[in-house]
Amino acid sequence: MGRIKKKGTSGAAKNYITRTRAVKKLQISLPDFRRLCIFKGIYPREPRNKKKVSKGSTAATTFYYTKDIQYLLHEPLLNKFREHKAVAKKIGRALGRGEVGDAKRLEKTHIPKVKLDHIIKERYPTFIDALRDLDDALSMLFLFANLPSSEYVPAKTIALCQRLCLEFEHYVIASHALRKSFLSIKGIYYQATIQGQDILWLVPYRFVQRTGGDIDFRIMGTFVEFYTTLLGFVNFRLYASVGLVYPPKFDAKSDEQGGELGAFQIEGRRITQGDESSAEDIEPQAITSAEAQAEVEKIVALAASTEQEQQETLADAVRTEDSNNDSIDTFEPTAADADVLPQPEASSAEAAALFAPFTFYLSRETPRAPLEFILKAFGSKRVGWDGSLGDGAFTTDESNPAITHQIVDRPVVANGSLPEPYVPETDNGGATVTKAQWPRSTMPGRTYVQPQWVWDCVNQGKLLRPDLYAPGAELPPHLSPWVKAKKGEYDPTIPLEQQELEGEAEAFEDEEDEADDDEEMNEAEQLITNGKKNGLEAIIDREDSVEVGEGMDVGGSESDSDEADEDEVTSARDFEGFESDAESDVSDGELARRQHQRELEAEAAGESVEPVVKSQKVKNAEIRKKADKKRKDEAEEKERQKMMLSRRKRKLMKRIEYGEDKRDKEAEGLRKKRRKLEKAKTAADAA
């Protein structure tokens, strides 16, 4: 006879362990257990059958894999946590005895320092694994970089997050790895392609952050501690891959003045071969005064040229880059109804040439940090801004002739409504020079655009028309670059005529006409009701109130009856060309045959046959009738095909059709809404 197994010693009950038992097994506190699990990447698990795991209990319990907890028993951080607990007890006893000096000495010299280097190597055996897990790390660190310091978030942690994030942005700028960006309600999304991996992160807007009391900053701080170590490793490897020195030189004075990206100086590594050594700056940030003067003269000459010459210069630069680098192939569909293959992303050379020929100036109302990052990531090395926005600008003079594009975010107002500002005058060889300031004055030859122009140009990979983004203009819709409309879905970037179904536009016009008729009927009924309320029902036809010859109809008159008969014949001839209810059900060929027969009869009688002119409403009805008939035939054919399928496949087909019908209804509703908006806009422009 086999041995009887004891309940709860095998199967699912053995594979899972509760959190309470795990904490007792590791002999650490619950906060330390949570911190250790975050570092090691161990998370709670949900068993399929909780009753089997908890031996019949249905209470809410957190479970972990037993193997994961067994793996934690050999973690070196456990000893660090126990040492920290022992030192904390000593510090507490010293403070209880009033020995503040001993407590400070213990905290300074005996508190163990926790290093996560070995955990980073364990969790990410290859560098590609670290890049794949970088999305959440960047989003969390950029969030903490914009938080205000408090008792939960120390200023030291915020400064570390800011430094790591700016170092990562410098690599993206140097390698031109940024591909897309999107302005959303949550913040600004960025996507960069690094070593074939698409990394997407979110940067919050720089508003005043108010942290609520329901946020557990201890858990978030544990993640930040892990992510800072991870990003430090990643930044070091990325800088080394492009030949840059890490960490870059940091200017604390410039950072205090708001330099941000300008507070870091990127340098190339020294390449040593035998006895020869040379230093190469991959992306030099500082240039000599002579080179700066030559660069400014070149830019002034470029600004003085016409817009056509600028476009030709940009096209020549792009062609030169393409000739030096292998161009990326594009996939074109072989047929109109074929599948659309995803197109490859733009190369770094194309990204570097997008804003390279231009010099930008940011007005003080525009967001400087995201604009500076995007413009420099796409080739522009000359970005200036107002001196109140911080240090590190190419120029702070708004009237500098080297500026080709100025980004403003204020509406256009009349000059008379603005007070005269105080503008200091500078002496230039005995002559007074006044600075040009938007919106009171503009510089000739300079392009003024709104900030959305930068994002739309980046997402579409080309320079868009600046007049569509002029100050005060109604901006085009800012769409997400990651949402691509599928077949049958509504696409706001395509005109309505290209995505409407057959007969849909005519049906919309008929609905609008019916709505107008109903509105007129309602107005008429309202007028009648109001008239009755005003006492118009008292005015009736009476023999003593109607004069002779006014409003009186004399019945039985032969002349009147003859005229009525003639009117009926005339009206019948006038409406002879319209289809009756019986004719609406016959085919188009039969209608043509009947019309031809009427023409022959009229020709034999010697009468002139006038062509039948159909109204727009009748034409719309015919188009809708043909479209409905076509769709009905297609539906019948599909039903016949479904009869040949098995029951299982018919159910699957039914679910597919349900999803398609739901998608088509949503798309149709959006198209109707867009058509109404376009019609209202056209009417407003005509008025």
If asked whether residues 236 and 270 sit together in one domain, one would say yes
Q: Which of 59, 83, 109 is the last residue of a domain?
A: 109
- Residue 160 domain flag: yes
Q: Tell me the residue type at 132.
A: R
Question: Can you give the pTM of this predicted structure?
Answer: 0.70
- What is residue 312's predicted lDDT score, i.e. its pLDDT? 52
User: How far apart, in Å, are the Cα atoms of 265 and each of 166, 245, 255?
Assistant: 11, 10, 12
Pairing of strands 447-449, 405-407: parallel
Number of domains in the chain: 4
Beta 270-273 vs 264-265: how paired, if at all?
unpaired
Cβ within 8 Å of residue 171, ≥6 positions away: 177, 235, 238, 239, 242, 244
Extended beta strands in 531-646, E state = none
Q: Which domain holds residue 39?
A: 12-109
pLDDT digits (tens, 9 = 90+) for 384-413: 998 888 888 888 888 888 999 999 998 876
Instruction: For residues 461 and 68, give the distance between their C-alpha atoms in angstroms, rounded to a whole number.
Output: 47
* 299 and 209 in a common domain: no
Give pLDDT, residue 333. Answer: 62
Q: Is residue 439 reached through a cis peptide bond, with omega within 30 degrees of 0 on the bond before it?
A: yes
SS3 (DSSP) at 270: strand
Contact (CB, 8 A) for 496 and 671? yes
Residue 567 lies in a domain: no
Q: What is the pLDDT of residue 529?
A: 62
Q: Are residues 152 and 249 in the same domain?
A: yes
| Pair (262, 295) in one structural domain | no
DSSP state of 262: G
- 129 and 203 assigned to the same domain: yes
Whether 209 and 247 share a structural domain: yes
Of 217, 37, 48, 28, nearest in space to 119 by CA = 37
Same domain, 248 and 141: yes
Pair (508, 625) in one structural domain: yes
Instruction: Provide mean pLDDT across the span 316-322.
Output: 46
Residue 169 corresponds to which amino acid? E
Domain assignment of residue 157, yes or no = yes
Sequence-ordered list of residues with C-beta below 8 angstroms from that of 239, at least 6 positions apart, any chain: 167, 171, 245, 246, 248
| 3-state class (DSSP) for residue 433 | strand
pLDDT: which is higher, 568 or 670: 670
- Same domain, yes or no, for 171 and 195? yes
d(CA 313, CA 594): 68
CA-atom Rg of the chain in angstroms = 39
Decide if 259 is inside a domain.
Answer: yes
Asked if pLDDT for residue 224 goes beyond 90, the answer is yes
Is 214 inside any structural domain? yes
Which pLDDT score is estimated for 52? 81
For residue 48, the one-letter residue type is: R
Domain-terminating residue out of 83, 109, 135 = 109
Helix axes of 504-533 and 647-686: crossing angle, nearest 10 degrees: 60
End-to-end CA distance of the chain: 98
Average pLDDT of the chain? 76
Q: How many CB atoms lie within 10 A of CB 224?
A: 21
* pLDDT tens-digit readout, 529-551: 665 555 544 444 444 444 444 44
Does residue 122 fall inside a structural domain?
yes
Mean pLDDT, rounded, for 284-301: 42
Q: Between the ranges 54-68, 273-287, 495-509, where is the mean pLDDT highest?
A: 54-68
**Contact predicate 393/381, CB 8 Å:** no
Q: Does 255 share its domain with 318?
A: no
CATH of the domain at 362: 3.40.50.10190
User: For residue 579, is it within any domain?
Assistant: no
pLDDT at residue 1 greater than cutoff 60: no
Spatial separation of the C-alpha atoms in residues 296 and 282, rounded to whole Å: 21
Same domain, 193 and 104: no
| Residue where a domain stops, chosen among 91, 109, 127 | 109
In a domain, 104, yes or no: yes
**String of DSSP letters for 161-192:** HHHHHHHHHHHHHHHT-EEEEEE-SS-EEEEE
Is the predicted pLDDT of residue 118 greater than 90, yes or no?
Answer: yes
Note whether 396 and 261 are same-domain residues: no
Integer Cα distance of 499 and 497 in angstroms: 6
Residue 93 CA, distance from chain mean position: 56
